[in-house]
Amino acid sequence: MSADRIKELEKLIEDLKSRMPAHSIPPRMIEELERLEDDLAEALASANSR
């Protein structure tokens, strides 16, 4: 994956975290955050293996 994809994922994670309420976070948002973080980890691993 490219550096652009990594930056995009980081931005999406930052945006999602900024929209999360302090309490009673909807499960949908937690699932989305986990998915984005997994995608980011995969992208970073792919970039580091080159």
Determine the average pLDDT of the residues in 16-30. Answer: 95
pTM of the entire predicted model? 0.88
Mean pLDDT along residues 2-21: 96
> Which has more pLDDT, 1 or 36?
36
Q: Positive or negative, the Cα torsion across 15, 16, 17, 19?
A: positive
Q: How many CB atoms lie within 10 A of CB 36?
A: 20
Residues 50, 6: Cα–Cα separation, whole Å: 15
Q: What is the pLDDT of residue 1?
A: 56
